[in-house]
Amino acid sequence: QGILWVSAESGRIKGYDWKIHDDEAFTGFMSKNGWVDVDGKTNGNLGGATKVKIVEAREDKNEFFFPGFIDTHIHAPQYPNAGLFGSSTLLDWLETYTFPVESGFGTQSTVKGQSQAQKPEEAPEKALHIYDQVVSRTLAHGTTCASYFATIHVPATNALAAICQTRGQRAFIGRVCMDEPAFCPEYYKDLSAEDSLSATKDTIHYIHTLDPKGTLVKPIVTPRFAPTCSRPSLTALGQLAASYNPPLHIQTHIAENKNEVALVKDLFPEAESYAAVYDQHNLLTPRTILAHAVHLSKEERTLVKARDAKISHCPASNSALGSGIAPVRDYLNEGITVGLGTDVSGGYSPSILEAARQACLSSRLLGHTKDFVDYHSHDGCESKSVGLEKLSVAESLYLATRGGAAVVNMEDDIGGFEIGMIMDAQLIQLGSVRMNGVSPLSATANMNGGPCTSLIQSGPVGNVDIFGTESWEEKIQKWVWSGDDRNVKAVWVGGRMVHWRV
Ligand code: GUN
Ligand code: FE
C-alpha cells in the first residue's frame, strides 16, 4: 500500500511513501486525485518536479502497487485460439491450429512497392478487433509491456502497433518472417526472401513514423524460427537489425521441442547447433529474445551467454504443448537473463500471473525429469544442484517484472519502483470480507451478495485476509496462487492510466 508521486511531464516516479498518511491536510491534498500543482509544499521529496500525479493504494482496501508485468513473448493473432491445442505438439500444432488462424490476418501480396496498400486500415476488420481485444485483455491482466509476434501481413501488423500506441501499452511489434517453402505452408508464407525483407522494412518504417522516439512502441525483427526461414532471409534480417543505431531488437523461437531440434539439425547440417544457426546469421545479440529454450545443450547455453542473448521462459505453453521444462535456475546461475512469456496461444492464458504460477509449478517438477537429472550428473556438472531448481513465488514475480525488463533491455526504466523509473504499474486489490450490515442469512443478502451476482464476479476473488494479520509475504503468495484479472484494479503505463476495473 502507499502513495506514488509521478511526474506529469515524464511519467517517471519522483517519490513515494509506502506508509499511509492519515493526517487531514495530507488527505485533503491527495483527494484532488489527478495531476496537481504541488508548488513548494512537498517539492523536496519530488526531485524538483512541480507537476505530479499522486496515486494511492489503500491498506484498508487490501490494495498494493506492483510493477506492471512484462510479457516477453506473445502471439497476438493466436489469441482466438487460446485454449485450443488438443493433444498436439509443436509441429503439428503449427499446422493444425496456428498457421490457419494467422493466415486470416491479410493476404500474401506483400510485394515491394505496394506500401501505399500497407496502411492499418487495409487490414481485415476482424484482425483489428482481435488485436484490440488482445491489448485490452493483456492490459486487464496487468501487462504493461509486451513483445508481440504479429503475422506476415504488413497492414495488420501496423494496426497492432497503432492499437498499442492508442491504448497506451508499451510494446515491441514484430512482423513475422517466414519464406522457406520446405516448411511454410503454401497458403501462408512470404513469397520470397526479398519480399519478406521489404515487408519487414515497411513495418519498421511505419512504426518509426508512428512513434519516432520509440517512447511506447518499437519494431522488433522477427524471423519466426529457423525452419521457416531461408538462409538468405536469416542473413538479411541479421544485417537489417544491425544496420540501426542502436540495433533493433530481434525475437525468435529456439529449442522448444525435441522434434523441432531434430528438424533444425536436418535443415542446417552446416551448423553445430540450433543456437549456432542464429549465431551464424548475426541473430544472437544482447537485444535478442529467444523464446522457450527448453532443450539447449551445454554448448548452446555457453553461446547464448557469450552473446548476452535473452531467454523468454514460457512455462504454460511448454506444459500445454508437452514441450518440456526449461531449466530456469540453471540459466540464472549461468548468468543468462530470463523473463516470462505467455506464448499465447501455445500458452492458453494471456496472464503473466498465470505464467509466474506455472514457472513455480514446472520448476517443482523439473527434478523429477530424466533429462534434468542426466544433465546434472554428467561430467563437469554439479549434481548437487538437483533440488535447488525450484523457483519461489518471489523469484517468479522477479522474472515477471525485473527479469522481463532486462530481457527487453529496459531494466533501468521499468520493472520496479525506484525513483526515476517510469511508472508502469498495477494497483492490486486482494479480497475482503463483505460486511455491509446485511445478514448473509437474509433473502436480501442472497439477492445482493450471493455467489452469482455480478458484484462478486467483477470484484476481487478469494485471497481474503480474514483476521487482518497476514504478512506481505503471505498476501503475495495468495495473490500468485489464487489471483486473476479481477484483482487488477487499475494499470498505468508511463504514468497514464490505461486500464481500470469497473
Ligand atoms: N515455433 C514457431 N512458431 C511458433 C509459434 O507460433 N508458437 C510457438 N510456441 N512456437 C513456435
Ligand atoms: Fe511462441
pLDDT of amino acid 15: 79
pLDDT of amino acid 24: 37
**Residue 368 one-letter amino acid:** H
Longest Cα separation, the chain? 76
Q: Which long-range contacts (CB under 8 A, 24 or more apart) does 282-286 make?
A: 282/235, 282/238, 282/239, 282/241, 282/242, 283/223, 283/234, 283/237, 283/238, 283/241, 283/250, 283/252, 284/309, 285/241, 285/242, 285/247, 285/250, 285/309, 286/310, 286/409
pTM for the whole thing?
A: 0.92
ipTM value greater than 0.85 = yes
> How far apart, in whole angstroms, are the C-alpha atoms of residue 181 and residue 266?
15
pLDDT of amino acid 156: 97
pLDDT band at 238 (very low <50, low <70, confident <90, very high): very high
Q: Which three cell numbers stand for residue 414?
A: 521499468
Q: Please check whether the domain covering 69-407 is classified as CATH 3.20.20.140.
A: yes
pLDDT at 372 over 90: yes
Task: Find the 309 Cα to ligand 2 centroid distance in Å.
Answer: 17
Locate the domains of the chain by residue range: 2-67+418-500, 69-407
pLDDT at 42 over 50: no
Nearest CA to ligand 1 atom 11: 253
pLDDT digits (tens, 9 = 90+) for 454-494: 444 456 767 888 888 889 899 999 999 999 999 999 999 99
Task: Find the 429 Cα to ligand 2 centroid distance in Å.
Answer: 31
pLDDT of amino acid 382: 55
Nearest CA to ligand 1 atom 3: 224
What's the whole-number average pLDDT of the chain?
88
Share of the chain above pLDDT 70, in %: 85
* CATH class label, 2-67+418-500: mainly beta
Chain Cα centroid distance, residue 415: 12
Which residue from 71, 73, 74, 75 has its CB within 8 A of the most atoms of ligand 1, so it is best to mutate?
75
pLDDT at 22 over 90: no
Candidate from 59-63, 154-158, 352-356, 384-388 with smallest mean pLDDT: 384-388
pLDDT at 28 over 50: no
pLDDT digits (tens, 9 = 90+) for 327-338: 999 999 999 999
Q: Assess contact for 343 and 313: CB atoms under 8 A.
A: no
DSSP 3-state percent helix, strand, coil across the chain (nearest 5): 40, 20, 40
pLDDT digits (tens, 9 = 90+) for 475-484: 999 999 999 9
pLDDT at 220 over 50: yes
Angle, helix 352-366 to helix 472-482, in steps of 10 degrees: 100
Mean pLDDT, residues 275-283 taken together: 98
CB-based pocket (< 6 A), ligand 1: 75, 90, 94, 98, 224-225, 253, 256, 317, 343, 346
Ligand 1 atom closest to Cα of residue 346: 9
Ligand nearest to the CA of 257: 1
pLDDT band at 367 (very low <50, low <70, confident <90, very high): very high
The protein residues having their C-beta less than 5 angstroms from ligand 2 (an ion) are 291, 343
Q: Assess contact for 393 and 56: CB atoms under 8 A.
A: no
382 in helix, strand or coil? Answer: coil
Ligand 1 atom closest to Cα of residue 256: 10
